[in-house]
Structure 1
Amino acid sequence: MKVFKNISELEASVGEELGVTEWQKITQKQINEFAEVTGDLQWIHTKPMKAKLLSPFKTTIAHGFLVLSLAPRMLEDIYAVKSVKMGINYGLNHVRFTAPVPVNSEVRGKVILKSFEKMDNQRGKGARLIVSLTFELKNSEKPACVAELVFLIYE
C-alpha cells in the first residue's frame, strides 16, 4: 500500500500508477448474494446448470456491477492519505464492462491517479480526484472493466 502524508504529497503522483491489488476470486456465493440485493436474478448469473447448457460462456458470469462494486475496497488496499478525514464518492465519468467474468475467475485492480484539483468549500479544504481503475481478469488479455471514478477528499 502506498501511504501519503497529505493531499499535497498525493498531488505529486498525478499521472502515475498508485498500485495493483491482490487477485480476488469471484464465487457463485458472491454472485448469488449480489443478485438478491440488486434484484438482478437473470439466469446467466444465478443458474449454473442452465448457464452450462445455454450460455455462450458455458458457466455463470458475475454481474458487471458486482465487479465495479469492488472499487472501494480495491482503492483502500492500494493507497491512503493520512491527513484525510473524509472521502466522498462523487461519481463516475466512464465505465465499460469489456469482458465477462466467469464464476471462480480472479480479478484485481490497477489504479492510476488521472487528475487532482484542490478545493476549499463549506466542507473544508480538500481535493477532487479522478482515478482510472482497471479491473484486470486473470489469464485474459482484456480487462473485465475499465472505469474512471471521481472522489472528493477532505483534510
Structure 2
Amino acid sequence: MEKVIINSYEDFEKLVGHQIGVSDWIEIPQERINQFADATLDHQWIHVDTERAKVESPYKSTIVHGYLTLSLLPHLWNQIIEVNNLKMMVNYGMDKMRFGQAVLSGQRVRLVADLQSLVNLRGVAKAEIKFSIEIEGAKKKALEGVATFLYYFN
C-alpha cells in the first residue's frame, strides 16, 4: 500500500471515518525482546528465558512484552502516513487500549489504522487514530486502542 501524504489540515479532514492504511509486517525476534528487557529493566522469564518458556509457559515460547508491541506504533505509523508542513507533532494520549493476544517470539505484526476523528484546536490538529496491531495468521489482535496525536501545522 502506498503511503498517505498529508500536507494540511484539509488533507487530513478528508480521511475522517476511513482507513488510513496498513503497514508492512515486522518480525519481533528474541534479540529485540532481550534488548527491550534491558532498556526497560523488565527481565521477566516469560520474555527472556527461552528454555524455561519452552517448558513452563502456556505458549511454549517466550512472548513479546506488551509495551514492546506498543512501542512499535511510531515505526509502523510512519510506514502508513507522511505528514508535511509541521512545526511539530506530539503524542497526546492513548485510550481504550487493550492487549488481546500475546505475540510469540519470532512472530510478525502489522498496524492497521483508521482516522476516527479530527478536531481543529485553534490551529492544532488533534487526530484520534483507531489502531490495531495484528499478528500474522492470528484471528485475535495483539493490541487495539485509540492513539491521539497533536499536529502543529505551519
Same fold, TM exceeding 0.5? Answer: yes
Quote the residue 1:62 is aligned against. Answer: 64
What is the identity, as a one-letter code, of the residue corresponding to 1:153? Y
Q: Structure 1 unaligned segments of length 5 or more: list them.
A: none
Q: Secondary structure at the match of 1:144?
A: strand
Q: Structure 2 unaligned segments of length 5 or more: list them.
A: none
Quote the residue 2:36 is aligned against. Answer: 34
**Where do 1:115-130 residues align within 5 Å?**
115-120=117-122, 125-130=123-128
Quote the residue 1:134 is aligned against. Answer: 132
Give the share of equivalent positions with the same residue, in percent: 35
| TM-score w.r.t. length of structure 1 | 0.95
Q: By how many angstroms is 1:9 displaced? A: 1.1
Q: By how many angstroms is 1:83 displaced? A: 2.1
Q: By how many angstroms is 1:4 displaced? A: 1.8
**Alpha-carbon distance between aligned partners in 2 of 1:33 and 1:54, rounded to the nearest angstrom:** 22
Out of 49-58 and 87-96, give the one that drifted further. 87-96
Quote the residue 2:149 is aligned against. Answer: 151
Q: By how many angstroms is 1:8 displaced? A: 1.1
What per-residue deviation string (whole Å, max 9, x for no partner) do you get for residues 69-128 of structure 1?
A: 0011111110122222210000111211100100000000000000100012xxxx2211
What per-residue deviation string (whole Å, max 9, x for no partner) do you get for residues 27-46 of structure 1?
A: 10110011111111100000
What is the CA RMSD across the aligned residues, in angstroms? 0.8
Q: Secondary structure at the match of 1:85?
A: strand
What is the identity, as a one-letter code, of the residue corresponding to 1:21? S
Quote the residue 2:5 is aligned against. Answer: 3
102, 105, 115: which is aligned to 2:107? Answer: 105
Equivalenced residue count is 151
**Alpha-carbon distance between aligned partners in 2 of 1:34 and 1:94, rounded to the nearest angstrom:** 24
90, 93, 104: which is aligned to 2:92? Answer: 90
**Alpha-carbon distance between aligned partners in 2 of 1:82 and 1:47, rounded to the nearest angstrom:** 43
Q: Is the 8 A contact 1:61 1:103 kept in 2?
A: yes
**Alpha-carbon distance between aligned partners in 2 of 1:119 and 1:76, rounded to the nearest angstrom:** 23
